[in-house]
Amino acid sequence: MLERIRLLFAEAVDLKMETLANSEMTIEIAYIAPLCEEKKVNDFIIVPFTKEEYSFRKQLGINPDYRLVEDPAYWQELLLRGHILIKAADHIYSFDAARVISVENPQTQVESAIQGPQLALSEDIRISLNLVRSMYPSPDLSVEEHTIGSLSKTPIMTVYDQRRVDPTVLDNVRKKLTTINVEMVHAAGELEKLLVGKRKHLFPTALITERPDRITRAIARGKIIVLIKGNMFAIILPATFFDFMQAVEDSYDSYWMTRFLVFLRYASILLTITLPAFYISVVSYNPELFRVQLAFSIAGSRSAVPYPSFVEVFIMLFMIETLVEASIRLPRYIGSTATTVGGLILGQAAQQAGLVSSIMIIVTSVVAISNFVIPVNSLSFAVRFLKYPLILISIFFGISGVAIGMFIYITYLCNLRSFGKPYFRFFGKLRHLEGDVGQVKLK
Amino acid sequence: MNRYVFYNFILVSFINLMLYVPHILIQYRYTGAVSSIAAGSVIGTVLLYLYTSALARYPGKGLPEILKIHFPGWPATVLTLFFAIMWWFATTVVVVAYAILINRFFNPDVNTTVILLTLVLACGYAATRSTLTVMFVIEIGVIINAPIIMFILFKAVRSPQLNWDAIRVVANYITAMPSITALAAASFVFTGYINLSLFNRLFPPNFRFKFRWVYPTFGLAILLVTFFVPIGFHGTETVNRYIYIWSVTADSLLMQYGFIERVLFLFLIVFLNLTLVYTMSGCHQAMEFIKSCLPGEKAEIDSPETPVSNYVIVSCFALLTMIFQLLTNEKLNMQITSYWLVLRMFIEFFSVIGIFILSRRRSRAV
């Protein structure tokens, strides 16, 4: 066996191949040392074999952890997954001694909730599955394993409740998973893009989360979860726009307050998309839209600004976007400095220098702050982009252009499907006796 | 799922302002508008009841499919094509009227043709989407805009500027016999049910029309407000001077506490949204009708990929709309619209009765 393995692999010092002998028999073992836990190798193979307290041959036969490998074609893959290959008396056995390095018991960081579980998913897929299983102790929970990536061979698991899951969505996801053809997959976001399939999409149509409570809640609603090895995030399919606007805390806190918060989110998403465009159209096209006092104060604050409103908007938005981008990428300690310098000093100075109007500073900060209100990061990113097409159309058509732009956005959203399910629609109360619209397939 | 029927109804009854319905009615205010409103609502209600009970027998089928059941190939094709042209024309009138309106009130500097092009492109994109998508957009458009329109109408009715004497004077002309044009204009408000010709495809097999009494009540209320409130604001004589009567009426209102002082702007934005939604829905229906005439075309309510035929048909519509705008002016547009309204009333009358009889005959046979 060892000769053959030597041929299969490139020259590698970490590939350990030994021949051991005791009074009973001689065995050959092979493993890749960094991938395996040294302790397991010792405890399960070397020590019991050399101590001879119990016949190793019998142990190989009885213990189901030593799995018989019939086909030599699997050798390579097993070794690369951290298994040990044992050759004893013309049989080849494999033993899983994989060592998974992951963050120990990670806390939720991206989607933090004040109350509610603080534990996030783990990079070890088994710990993640443990969390999901223990929070959803139901015999209906179905777990399927797939492997993605011709090089990375990333193990992924799809988890769903077999009674509640929508069979068409499940078929759709399975088909997608089997047809994905890439070399490497390491992040949930990467897999999400592959699953969705469209190269140029504006909105996320699958929800990426790290919270086990969000996951189990989604399973209970018949959704499918995709867990990836080596990633703290799971993908929830299918997702609707409204899932992205939902923070987990909405179901933990008091009713009226959370309703108010939901309203706040929708109001701010509207503001962050339309406000710069409205500023341009009000200043350049329809100052008479506002009441006279307000129109005067806007015009007054712009009196020192020498160029048209859209230049002003572009200057300020460029500043705020770079600021946001910088404070995300910079290390945490420098990040706060950047925000202070940029936000306070530059903003004030730009207004005093007559580069931008003071109203524009308010508009910019409203745009930036309302963007952060969106609870799920991927939507927040998507929404950050949405204001620019509206600004462009408002330069040419004013307020009517903004309205047309919003109409196109709504149409686009309604047109999106997340794995065959509508992405953006108002679900009224659906009585079980009544069918839903669009369920009939015409012959 | 009755709300989806209701959305269509609301949409059409609100859009009557864009089809010059108030202006046409006001022209006949001494010569039969009031009685036309009464007669029109009766006709509208009867047709609505007939059509919904006829469609209830064809669950999940649109008008083209129903025609195909009862007629051999070419008459069904001719009829469907004719309906498609009717639908397309309604959207053309609305969208051209709105392009002019934007030019008048929002952007006087921009060329009307350019505005129309933008509107048509936006609506064209939306119309090429699947039927289910179009329904969702209608839903969202109505849910967002209807409360604001209700607010404006309520504000108008409760305004101290409203002269009830003028309204009373005009209302007393109820004894004048209804005229055909006014009748057509009045019955248009109730014509939302005709959109079900296509959207009936979406409804599940066990769908039942419920709360049908709401539609005539709502339609009559809207019709009365659209007709009488401008008269109350402008007086019995002056009211005839404006083509865009409701824009002017909305401009007579003031919101004392808002950012936006003039109700006109709120009104225009809301009606822009409604115009877009209506144009999309009309174009989509016309497109689907034409598609159902193509050989080998299968009706799909939610196809994952947009067929090329959608783009081709809708761009033809868009081109025709642009040509229509270039060839006509406001006055001609209004004339044609009033003829169209009359034609529409007769077509609808006969097709609804026809479909109703067909549906009964079929049930007796089966």
> What residues of chain A, 372 to 411, have a C-beta less than 8 Å from chain B?
396-401, 403-404, 407-408, 410-411
Q: What is the pLDDT of residue B139?
A: 92
Question: In whole angstroms, what is the distance from residue A264 CA to residue A425 CA?
Answer: 19
- Split at pLDDT 50, 70, 90, the class of B304 is confident
DSSP states along B107-134: -TTS-HHHHHHHHHHHHHHHHTS-HHHH
In this prediction, residue B364 carries a pLDDT of: 60
CB of A2 closer than 8 Å to CB of A19: yes
pLDDT at residue A431, as a whole number: 58
HSE toward the beta carbon, residue A342, CA cutoff 13 A: 20
Q: How many CB atoms lie within 10 A of CB B235?
A: 14
Which residue in B107, B139, B202 is closest to A426 by CB distance? B139
How long is chain A? 443
Identity of the residue in A426, A437, A442 whose CB atom sits nearest the CB atom of B143? A426
Per-residue model confidence (pLDDT) at position B360? 86
- Chain A residues whose CB is inside 8 A of the B125 CB are 408, 411
Tell if the CB–CB gap between B265 and A407 is shorter than 8 Å. Answer: no
Q: Do B126 and A426 touch (CB under 8 A)?
A: no
Q: Which residue of A has its CA nearest to B203?
A: A437
* Beta-carbon separation of B106 and A286 below 8 A: yes
Contacts of B118 in chain A (CB under 8 A): 397, 401, 404
Long-range contacts of B334-339 (CB under 8 A, 24+ apart): B334/B20, B334/B23, B334/B24, B334/B243, B336/B93, B337/B19, B337/B20, B337/B24, B337/B93, B338/B20, B338/B24, B338/B181, B338/B184, B338/B185
| B125: nearest CB among A411, A428, A435 | A411
Closest-CA distance of chain A to residue B171, Å: 35
Report CB contact under 8 Å: B135, A437: yes
Helix (H, G, I), strand (E, B) or coil at A258: helix
Write the DSSP symbol of residue A86.
E
Q: What is the mean pLDDT of residues B210-214?
A: 87
pLDDT given at position A433: 59
Q: Do A408 and B122 touch (CB under 8 A)?
A: yes
Taking an 8 Å cut-off on Cβ atoms, the answer to whether B204 and A417 are in contact is no
A31 at interface of B, judged by CB pairs closer than 8 A: no
Give every CB contact of residue B101 below 8 A, 6+ residues apart in sequence.
B244, B247, B268, B271
Residue B269 with chain A: CB contacts under 8 Å:
399-400, 403
d(CA A6, CA A79): 12
* Span B211-224, average pLDDT: 91
Distance CA B304, CA B137 (A): 17
Tokens of A291: 């009441």
Note if the bond before A137 is cis, omega within 30 degrees.
no
The reply to whether residue B129 touches residue A398, judged by beta carbons under 8 angstroms, is no
Closest CA in chain B for residue A396 = B110
pLDDT tens-digit readout, B307-330 = 888 999 999 999 999 999 999 888
Residues in chain B within 8 Å Cβ distance of A397 = 107, 110, 115, 118
Residue contact A399–B265, C-beta within 8 A: yes
Burial class (CB in 10 A: 0-12, 13-18, 19+), B331: exposed
> Nearest C-alpha of chain A: how many angstroms from B97?
14
Nearest residue, CB atoms, A414 vs list B60, B118, B136: B136
Q: Which of B59, B130, B137 sits opposite A410 (nearest CB)?
A: B137
Chain A CB contacts of B136 under 8 Å are 414, 422, 424-425
CA distance A424 to chain B (A): 8
With an 8 Å Cβ cutoff, is A61 touching chain B?
no
Cβ <8 Å between B137 and A426? no
Sorted by sequence, the CB contacts under 8 Å of residue B189 that are 6+ apart come out as: B12, B13, B16, B21, B40, B41, B44, B219, B222, B223, B226
Q: Do B137 and A411 touch (CB under 8 A)?
A: yes
pLDDT bucket at B11, cuts 50 / 70 / 90: very high
Taking CA atoms, what residue in A is nearest to B62?
A442
Question: Above 50 in pLDDT, residue B241?
Answer: yes
Q: Do B204 and A440 touch (CB under 8 A)?
A: yes
CATH of domain B2-365: 1.20.1740
Q: Which residue of A has its CA nearest to B258?
A: A291
Amino acid (1-letter code) at residue B54:
A
A404 → closest Cβ in B118, B136, B202: B118
Substitution target from B11, B104, B106 for chain A, most A beta carbons within 10 A: B106
Does A220 reach chain B within 8 Å, measured CB to CB?
Answer: no
For A27-47, b/e burial (b = at least 16 CB within 10 A) is bbbbbbeebbeeebbeebbee
SS3 A69: strand
B47-79 pLDDT, tens digit each: 999 999 998 888 888 888 888 888 877 888 888
Question: Where are the domains positioned within chain A?
Answer: 2-96, 125-239, 254-422
Select from A205, A415, A432 the residue whose CB has the most chain B CBs within 10 Å, as the one to mutate to test that interface: A415
Report H helices in A110-202: 125-135, 167-179, 188-196
Share of chain B above pLDDT 70, in %: 99
pLDDT averaged over chain B?
89
Considering only CB atoms, B136 lies closest to which of A291, A425, A439, namely A425
Distance from CA of A226 to the nearest CA of B (A): 23
Q: What is the mean pLDDT of residues B30-50?
A: 92
Q: Which of the four pLDDT bands, split at 50, 70 and 90, describes residue B125?
A: very high
| Contact A276/B at CB under 8 A | no
Chain B within 8 Å of A414 (Cβ-Cβ)? yes
With beta carbons under 8 A apart, name residues in chain A contacting B143: 426
**A-chain residues near B276 (CB < 8 A):** 403-404, 407
Mutate to test the interface with B, among A362, A392, A414 (most CBs of B within 10 A): A414
Mean pLDDT by 10 residues, chain A (443 residues): 81 84 84 86 85 81 84 83 84 84 75 81 86 89 88 88 88 87 85 81 87 89 89 88 86 88 93 94 88 88 89 89 83 74 76 86 90 88 92 92 94 88 73 62 46
Task: Quote the CA–CA distance of B229 and B253 in Å, as a whole number.
Answer: 12
Residues of chain B in contact with residue A433, where contact means CB-CB under 8 angstroms, are 206
Q: How far is CA B284 from CA A250, B24, B81, B125, B281, in A?
A: 38, 27, 14, 10, 5
Minimal C-alpha gap between A413 and chain B (Å): 9
